[in-house]
Amino acid sequence: MEKEKSTLIDKIWAFFASVKFAIIIFALIATTSIIGTILEQREDPAKNLQILSRLFSESLAPTLYEIFDKLGFFNMYRSWWFISLLALFALNLIICSLDRLPKIWKLVKEPMLPLPEETLKKFLINREFTIKNTPDNIKFFVSDTLKKSGFKCNEVKEDNGFQFFGQKWNYSRLGVYLTHMSILLILIGALIGIKLGFKGYMEVGEGTVSNTVISGDKVLTLDFLVKCENFETEFYGMSDMPKEYRSWLTIIKDGKEVVKKSITVNDPLTYEGITFYQSSYGIIPNGLGRGIFIFNVVSKDGKSNLLNLRFGDSFQIPGTNLTGRIIDFSPALRYDERGNTFTYTNMMNNPAVLIDFTESGKHKFSGWIFKRHPESWQLPDGNRVEFYNYWGVEYTGLQVRKDPGVWLVYLGCILISIGLFTAFFLSHRRIWVKLIADKQYTRIVIGANTNKNRAAFERKIDMIVSTLSKNKEGAK
Amino acid sequence: MESPLLFGISTMAYFIAMMIYFIYLAFRNNPVGIIATSFTILGFISQTFAIALRWKEFAELSGMGFIRSAPLTNLYESLTFFVWCLILGYLIIEFKFKNRSFGAFVTPIAGLVLAFIDLTGVTKEIQPLVPALKSNWLLAHVTMSFIAYAAFAISFSTGIMYLILNTEKKNEPAYIFWTLTFGLFAILILSMGIDFLTFKVKVRPEIFIKSYLFKTSFLHPSATVNIISWLISFAIIFIVWKYGFILKRILIKFGLSADMLDEITYKSIAVGFPIFTLGGLIFGAIWADQAWGVYWSWDPKETWSLITWFIYAFYIHSRFVRGWKGKKAAIVAVIGFMAVIFTYLGVNLLLSGLHSYGSQ
Ligand code: HEM
């Protein structure tokens, strides 16, 4: 009874430790993921119904939808069975490592011993040659050559000569395990991020502060305030192709400004473990009233005046009695073929203000002034209204994230790179070199082994052999 | 000289090299082989200059500094870079294994990809970068991904040659697999060729073929055309299956040993896998993390990279399972590269996602 029980457990253990199980898991994760990329994840059911009827048929789609829905395919990567697959994958890695590590560790740590000639000759890599000198004379040269090839060798005196033996990169055998363990680290890091962190979104208007983050269907409150000093979009030349989005943020904690930083799309701001990413922007609804337009007004004879104006404000061109009033604004104004204006997007692509000019109470002229187009700044009577900037009408959309596990993920990424490199490009190499006195000659027998890439090691050994045999006379 | 002209020269050089490689295979005449290699090198040098020129042009135009201006930002540029890596990888193998026979397989891939760029009307204009793409991580990500893809492309061709050489019977799965793969590639190229011919002439030529893909064959509004397309496809697959052994006879003449093919398949995956892990998955994740605050979001492009990664992990480990050497492993290597192609082109052409990148 006892015995049978333990063999069953042994069998289960062996199954979980096996590479066969690993490749089954690989295949399962890969194929289910394929389905996950075809069906839309966490989307409107109508979309998936459409995809299904396109792939199969109109009549089959609703039934299929129900089946896939029951199996969780529309939120697949969070479904119980996909998570279980990942868990099995992790379990497989852990058990496989526990199973093999002791043996590998022994191979890494195993001290090398001198070996008899017959054993050396049985190695897959072995060489034998004779040189015209005595072992005593050439032993320094031999150990030096081996050292130059990266083998720090032990030396033992034998009956009729010497034996050198050494190894290198024995730790490279652990590369595979480093790789496997890093995968676990990444999974643990991801889990910590999901359990202890959050992902959310917040909007902060120019000149305002906020501490509310919307995360899924929850609303979180930060214990500090985020202030958006300014938001700007830079474009490529006159095109509507955005070049950079930039927000100037200030963090206010307990009434004090603690951090100031301008963020761009690839350059976020982190404070107290919470990171703010530039993610979107827009125009504050009904925010026109609080916006400020910055003009430089220049009269014909060169007098100028820098003005901060609000919508509806009036201003005077210095040295004249011409009065302008801002009566309309468009974030992106364009003229159509007939010369009529229209707003082509609600993003701040081509902002323009409509200014109405009066002289001594009488309407004189009116026109659109574009920020981007200096030629529109010229008034018909030679005065200029330069539209420099605007402020206070846009909000910046920030992706907010706290992820206490991300450093583990990154650590795992670094280690997996090191692990893969060692696993594929380094090998544990061992070499034994025996010098045997044979009258005034020395017979050299080399035996060597490696756990992979034997061809490369053989080339190395042949180089050692040719160095040794070429320098036979030079050695003292 | 202008970079399009230089690209043209390299396309021609690769096609000429291909033909000379075939002559070399037929006659085994060394001087002929040297000429073939010279053409490949000529194509490579000319392409190197073309890329460098484009880089310089972009740097001057964008004023973003040299590193940020690497010409790897759209489909056209990345495909070109892929070809460049592929040829470099091939030249290294030719030099190391002292065998020119692969030339006949690699140069047509290079020529075809360059021609594909022309065919699909992928935009060749130098475009400014949108903010999300302005990242050094992205540059490292794209460069390394394509080096890995080139390594995987080599394993694909050696893998398929291995299958051709090692299959005996028409009803064995490995034979059916490789003839099916060949047939599918032929059908894809054919149907896209017809799409191109029809739409490049009829519709606006500068438009990307994406929206018209397969509209002249499988997705044509008329049911008759659909049925005919399917019938022709089956016929192509059947013909390849029926006469596949002819390819084997040709290959036998090349004097390639199955062991060597197996070794090159493994070695190029062993080179590609770590580079893909670091550059494709890790740098991609870091970039997404910097730009959007999510290092992994299961969007189709990311997921397909992961699928590709698992397929190659499958390949690597299958060598440790008894009885999985040789043919089965070669099949996995071939499937792996199909996943690469799908990750790169299929996701953009057929699925949609976060990555606007490459969709031009
Ligand atoms: C996708 C995740 C994995 C990656 C990236 C990975 C990576 C590697 C690499 C690079 C090697 C060395 C291959 C070679 O030298 O040719 C290897 C070997 C191995 N892997 Fe994995 N592995 C993964 C998952 C697993 C899992 C889940 C198992 C569980 C059984 C496993 C078991 C093994 C074993 C037993 C070896 C052979 C080790 C030896 O040489 O003695 N691997 N793995």
DSSP B72: -
Task: Taking the CA atoms of A333, A336, A342 and A347 in sequence, report the sign of the dihedral they define.
Answer: negative
pLDDT, residue B75, reads 74
How high is the pLDDT of residue A92?
94
Residues near ligand 1 with C-beta < 6 Å? A 19, 22, 89, 92-93, 96, 176, 179-180, 183, 420, 423; B 313, 316-317, 320
- Side chain identity, residue A87: A
Residue B353 has pLDDT above 50, yes or no: no
* Coil/strand/helix, residue A106: helix
Per-residue tokens: A66: 């129900």
Q: Which atom of ligand 1 is nearest to the CA of A18?
A: 30
Burial class (CB in 10 A: 0-12, 13-18, 19+), A249: buried
Spatial separation of the C-alpha atoms in residues B184 and A85, rounded to whole Å = 32
Q: Which A residues 203-242 touch B at CB under 8 Å?
A: 236, 241-242
pLDDT at A190 over 90: yes
- Rounded Cα–Cα distance for residues B54 and B62 (Å): 12
Helix (H, G, I), strand (E, B), or coil: what is residue B138?
A: helix
Measured CA to CA, the distance from residue A113 to residue A176 in angstroms comes to 26
Determine the distance separating the centroid of ligand 1 and the alpha carbon of A168, expressed in angstroms: 22
CB A294 within 8 A of CB A388: yes
Residues of A in contact with B351 (CB under 8 A): 37-38
Structural element, H or E, at residue B165 = helix B136-166
> How far does chain A reach from its first CA to its final CA, in angstroms?
72
Q: Flag whether pLDDT at B215 surpasses 80.
A: no
What's the ipTM?
0.84
DSSP structure class, residue B124 = -
- Please name the residue whose Cα sits nearest to atom 37 of ligand 1: B320
Element (H, E) at A235: strand A218-235
Selected residue of B58, B268, B307 to mutate for chain A interface (largest A Cβ count, 10 A): B307
Distances in Å between the alpha carbon of B82 and those of B77, B109, B142, B154, B300?
9, 11, 10, 12, 21
Q: Please report, as a single letter, which amino acid is at residue A440.
A: Q
| Domain annotation for chain A: domains and CATH numbers | 8-107 (no CATH), 118-169+427-469 (3.30.160.110), 195-285+395-415 (no CATH), 292-391 (no CATH)
Chain B residues near residue A190 by CB distance under 8 angstroms = 296
Instruction: Give the list of residues 6+ apart from residue A278 with CB closer than 8 angstroms, or none.
Output: A245, A246, A247, A263, A264, A265, A268, A396, A398, A399, B131
Q: Contact at 8 Å (CB) between B241 and B183?
A: yes
Cα–Cα distance for residue pair B169/A303, rounded to 1 Å: 94
For the cut 80, the answer to whether the pLDDT of residue B70 exceeds it is no
Q: Do A417 and B294 touch (CB under 8 A)?
A: no
- As a whole number, the mean pLDDT across chain B is 82
B351: nearest CA in chain A? Answer: A38
Residue A35 Cα to ligand 1 middle (Å)? 26
Percent of chain B with pLDDT over 70: 85
In the predicted model, is pLDDT for residue A413 greater than 90? Answer: yes
Q: How many residues comprise chain A?
A: 476
Q: How confident is the model at residue A137 (pLDDT cuts 50, 70, 90)?
A: confident
Question: Residues B253-293: pLDDT tens digits?
Answer: 777 788 888 988 999 999 999 999 999 999 999 988 888 88
Instruction: Give, for B1, the enclosing helix (H) or strand (E).
Output: none
**How far apart (Å, rounded) are the C-alpha atoms in residues A375 and A386?**
10
The C-alpha atoms of residue B334 and residue B339 are separated, in whole angstroms, by 9
Residues 6+ apart with CB under 8 A from B14: B39, B40, B43, B83, B87, B107, B108, B110, B111, B114
Q: How far is CA A257 from the centre of its chain?
A: 31
Task: Please state, rounded to an integer, the average pLDDT across all residues of chain A.
Answer: 88
Residues of B in contact with A29 (CB under 8 A): 310
Token duo for residue A196? 């202890």
Q: Which residues of B touch A410 (CB under 8 A)?
A: 286
Q: Which residues pair with A390 in a beta bridge?
A: A293
Sorted by sequence, the CB contacts under 8 Å of residue A251 that are 6+ apart come out as A224, A225, A226, A227, A257, A258, A259, A260, A269, A271
Nearest to B279 by CA among A401, A216, A420, A298: A420
- CA triplet B44, B47, B49: central angle to 5 degrees? 115
Which of A19, A33, A420 shows the shortest C-beta gap to B321? A19
pLDDT at A196: 93
- For the cut 50, the answer to whether the pLDDT of residue A1 exceeds it is no
pTM, full prediction: 0.85
Measured between CA atoms, how close is B309 to chain A, in angstroms?
9
Q: Do A244 and B134 touch (CB under 8 A)?
A: yes
pLDDT digits (tens, 9 = 90+) for B14-31: 888 888 888 887 777 788
Q: How far apart are CA A336 and CA A232, in angstroms?
A: 27
Residue of B nearest to A38 (CA): B351
Once rounded to an integer, what is the mean pLDDT over residues A220-226?
93
Which of A176, A421, A427, A451 maximizes ligand 1 atoms within 8 Å of its Cβ, making it the mutation to test the pocket? A176
Q: Ligand 1 atom closest to Cα of A89?
A: 27
C-alpha span between A469 and B148 (Å, rounded): 41
Whether residue A26 and residue B317 make contact (CB cut-off 8 A), yes or no, is: yes
How do beta strands A394-402 and A274-283 pair?
antiparallel
Alpha helices in A56-156 (DSSP H): 61-70, 80-109, 117-122, 135-148
Q: What is the pLDDT of residue B354?
A: 33
**DSSP bridge partners of A264:** A267
Q: Which of B134, B277, B313 sits opposite A417 (nearest CB)?
A: B277
Residues 121-140 of B with CB under 8 A from A: 128-132, 134-135, 137
With beta carbons less than 8 A apart as the criterion, state whether A386 and A378 touch: no
Mark yes or no for CB contact B130/A241 under 8 Å. Answer: yes
Checking if the pLDDT of A17 tops 50, the result is: yes
